[in-house]
Amino acid sequence: MSYRIKTLDTNFYITAPAPDSPITDELTGVLSFHTAIPIINVYEDEVLIKSFVVETLLTNPDLSGQFLHFSVRILANSGVMIDGIIAPRPDTHPTWEDPDYEAIRLQPFFLSTADPAFPQRLIGKGLFERGLHYSGTITPTAVRNICICDHCQKSFTLQHIHGGHSELQYFYSEDSRQTLLVHYTDIPNLPVHLQSEIDEKLISEVEAQLPLPTNGKGKFRYYNALLCPHCQSPFIDFPTHKHIRPVEYYGNTYINEPFFNFKL
Ligand SMILES: [Zn+2]
């Protein structure tokens, strides 16, 4: 039983801890979706602080009448983590082994009681630092991340592949609407994930061998940022934070967009 977190419809309400009570708290439960594309709102003391649109897969476009088996955790640093599994029934908790398994992970965020430096230092950072992936644990492809733009605060959904696992390097197009996958063996000197030294001259040689995005916009480049699809601000800002590029080994697409495969 949670004392700081309550739910109503698809909204979460978080209240301040009572004096002498712990900051940390947790609530698990089931909520029902009543609209095709539900919105999960989070309120802190009645103030709306985050809004996550649960964009849907083409294979399951209407979530009305379905359920979210959710978990909400408030951490000691006033961070909030929310995730859940979408299911057709409230009483069966699907697992990732189910064929129609579908899960969402909401970008963790901080309450107003957190040190302001915490959210500030995540601007433009990767999905590991933002708490959407964990080192040493593979995020199943059936889990999709709902991110919040640092700039416009609107949400957008990403799907991913684990590039290290499949020995695939990825390249975002300039508008990040296309993601190209290149196998490690397809191009000599292709940078691999977790590589410690990146030679920018070799990167340029590799990039010169890549095809152009089919939407005719810009080029695929190793350091292209993943942009917010609403306001085009850099979300994973590789040009500003080049050092995170080798460790961001999940390649992303916006929801329902295909990956493009490099062909020799
Ligand atoms: Zn934005």
pLDDT tens for 11-37 read 999 999 989 899 999 999 999 999 999
CB-CB contact of 37 with 55 (8 Å):
yes
Closest CA to 195 of 187, 184, 186: 184
From ligand 1's centre to the CA of 234, what distance in Å? 8
From ligand 1's centre to the CA of 214, what distance in Å? 24
**pLDDT over 70 (residue 96):** no
Give all strands of the β-sheet with 168-172 in edge-to-edge order: 168-172, 179-183, 260-261
Domain annotation covers residue 67: yes
Residue 9's pLDDT is what? Answer: 96
Q: What is the pLDDT of residues 185-196, one digit of tens each?
A: 999 999 998 888
Please name the helix (run of DSSP H) or strand (run of DSSP E) that holds residue 44, with its range, or none: strand 39-44
Domain count, the chain: 1
From ligand 1's centre to the CA of 153, what distance in Å? 6
Domain annotation covers residue 75: yes
3-state secondary structure of 67: strand
Q: Phi, psi (5° rounding) for residue 203?
A: -60, -45
Residues linked to residue 234 through DSSP beta bridges, in sequence order: 227
From ligand 1's centre to the CA of 50, what distance in Å? 14
Residues linked to residue 137 through DSSP beta bridges, in sequence order: 134
From ligand 1's centre to the CA of 183, what distance in Å? 31
Domain annotation covers residue 79: yes
Query: DSSP H helical segments within the chain, as ranges?
Result: 117-120, 200-207
pLDDT band for position 52 (cuts 50, 70, 90) = very high
Q: What is the pLDDT of residues 149-159, one digit of tens each?
A: 999 999 999 99
From ligand 1's centre to the CA of 60, what distance in Å? 26
Domain annotation covers residue 34: yes
From ligand 1's centre to the CA of 2, what distance in Å? 33
From ligand 1's centre to the CA of 71, what distance in Å? 26
3-state secondary structure of 176: coil
Residue 196's pLDDT is what? Answer: 82
From ligand 1's centre to the CA of 121, what distance in Å? 17
pTM of this structure: 0.95
For residue 164, give Cα distances in angstroms to 84, 144, 157, 167, 191. 25, 18, 22, 5, 11
Domain annotation covers residue 244: no
Task: Tell the burial category of 42 from Cβ atoms under 10 Å away from its Cβ (0-12, 13-18, 19+).
Answer: buried
| Neighbour tally for 143: CB within 10 Å | 19
- Span 202-207, average pLDDT: 96
From ligand 1's centre to the CA of 125, what distance in Å? 14
Q: Phi, psi (5° rounding) for residue 218?
A: 60, -155
pLDDT band for position 264 (cuts 50, 70, 90) = low
Residue range(s) defining the domain that contains residue 75: 5-121
Residue 100's pLDDT is what? Answer: 73
pLDDT band for position 85 (cuts 50, 70, 90) = very high
